[in-house]
Structure 1
Amino acid sequence: MRLEWLLLLIPCAQAVRILHRVVHPNLPPPDFAELGSINPPTAELIPSSSLLDDLALFTDAVSPHLDGAMYQVALERPGDVDESMWSISTVKTCLLPQSTSDTLVLHFSASGQPFALDYFVSPVPHNGACPSTLESHPQKYPAHANTTVLLKYPRLPPLPELRAPPPLTPEGEPIAPLPEKSFIQKYWIYIVIGLGALLISGPSEEPASGSGGGAGSGGK
């Protein structure tokens, strides 16, 4: 069974709460609001009942196209009241009005506990810059209908392939490899067979050279 499936069998104590907010460097940071909750076995984000109201409040407080504004999505860690220790993913607010989908990646430890998240929206320009014209873009934060949730678990690295140890003598010393055989040592049997065949066949017979005259021309 793969490690990912083994970790899915580890039950979480409760659903994972995902929070969000809009911040600007010239304004005091507001409190996080609940974006929704994720049940790891189903890998589905269940939006908060106050999501639409919270997005409307974000729009009234900070315009999506205000330079320097950032949209933050955070992973709540129960028992840790220090928000600076939470895992937070940040996106430019100017990219949200034209986005049509979003993706949330939740990372789990080997013990099956969530410890980090990543948040992405699409489409996004290749250079990541804000749109130059604002007339064709909505002036509010969208509520994406279906958020893609990806669960990432640690993977075991492949085990190294160990070479077999060299053979040792009874004294514990490596056995020296046998020296490479010469050509004669490898193929002497074929050389002997070839020479024997030549000796058995003997020299080739030369054709007899006879004269054309015969004894039939005797004296009269």
Structure 2
Amino acid sequence: MYTLMHGFYKYMTQKDDYCVVILGLDNAGKTTYLEAAKTTFTRNYKGLNPSKITTTVGLNIGTIDVQGVRLNFWDLGGQQELQSLWDKYYQESHGVIYVIDSNDRERMEESKMIFDKMIKNELLSGVPLLILANKQDLPDVMGVREIKPVFQQAGALIGRRDCLTIPVSALHGEGVDEGIKWLVEAIKRHAVVRPPAGERLGHQEKTRAHQPSTGFN
């Protein structure tokens, strides 16, 4: 009886799992944004002291529960030598967060170049995209009206996917709530094409099981 009730409870409380990659140049504020998201949506979570956050070398991970789903974040290092590893995560991703340092005018063109390379990858076709103009708490930064046209030059590559560009301050948590909630709704809409992690794996296994044998082992 306990096993039955426990199984029913687990079924009723389980959440759909989705994976989100956080991309952008090094020092754009990706890890600070991830910490802000965890602080915003996870009760009693005490985020890292911003002064203790260092440049990501490899991968940071984080998880939040929001609006009935579970988001698993992969915060990937933005150094040039690490960008070649990004596409290893694309196939399993349900959403992309691209973080821009609004205060770094000198590297804006570089950021656009790697954005274009990322968005044209077929493994991310149709995947919802949240573009963050970060560091809006600093004076004299580029605003969304100035940044948006630069990245909209890749409009043909972005296609008809759900896409939103918003101003944020990851340091102060401003704009985090709005962006994450929008992304969740966009990911849910796209779930018909790219279902939750567990369901997607099951679908792939069923597909392989029904594929005709080639006669080779």
Do they fold alike, i.e. is TM over 0.5? no
